[in-house]
Amino acid sequence: MDRTTKESFVSDLRDRINKAPVVYLTDFTGLGVKAMTALRRSIRASGAEYLVVKNRLAKLAFAETDLPDISESLEGPTGMVFGYEDAAAPAKALSDFAKDHNKKPVFKLGIMDNKVLQAEQVDAIAKLPSRDVLYSMLAGALEAPMAALASALEAKIQETAGLIDALREEREKAG
């Protein structure tokens, strides 16, 4: 790579880092070309992007951001996942892929909301339910008290209607 190409790459990488709410660093040692292609496809399907980077260029790109210094993690083969839509989906895609490929790639660390996440924390994120499942769980949690309130109000309305009927019958007998 010549100097202008490197500068362009670093600038593009910096823009991706700044644009993505979550970035995961992985070690892809031992994955062949076919596996890498399948990994990229899996990551893309989760709404993210996978990019293999040279550590030296990644250090330059990170130095131009407001993110914490992670240069000690930029050793060995490094692949970066840029999650643009969801934090859990790309982590889950990586984790599922690793289960089928001898635990490769391996999480090095993650960056979310300008905070560094250790590999264990990224694994925990990967185990979270999907966004749609979380939304449905939230809807169910919100729906239950409202359904109980509606049921209680309906019972009171029926009780009142029964009392009115009883009063009407009593008045008809009396009058």
Q: What is the pLDDT of residue 48?
A: 92
- Rounded Cα–Cα distance for residues 126 and 121 (Å): 9
pLDDT digits 0-9 by tens, 62-86: 888 888 888 888 888 999 999 988 8
Of 83, 138, 132, 92, nearest in space to 112 by CA = 83
For the CA atoms of 110, 58, 20, 70, what is the dihedral angle to 10 degrees? 30
pLDDT digits 0-9 by tens, 105-149: 888 999 998 888 898 888 888 888 877 888 888 888 888 888 888
Is the pLDDT reported for residue 43 higher than 80? yes
Confidence of residue 23 (pLDDT cuts 50, 70, 90): very high
Confidence of residue 40 (pLDDT cuts 50, 70, 90): very high
Of 71, 112, 73, nearest in space to 91 by CA = 112
Count the neighbouring beta carbons within 10 Å of the beta carbon of residue 26.
26
CB 43 within 8 A of CB 108: no
Confidence of residue 158 (pLDDT cuts 50, 70, 90): very high
The domain 3-128 is classified under which CATH number: 3.20.20.70, 3.10.20.30, 3.10.180.10, 3.30.70.1730?
3.30.70.1730
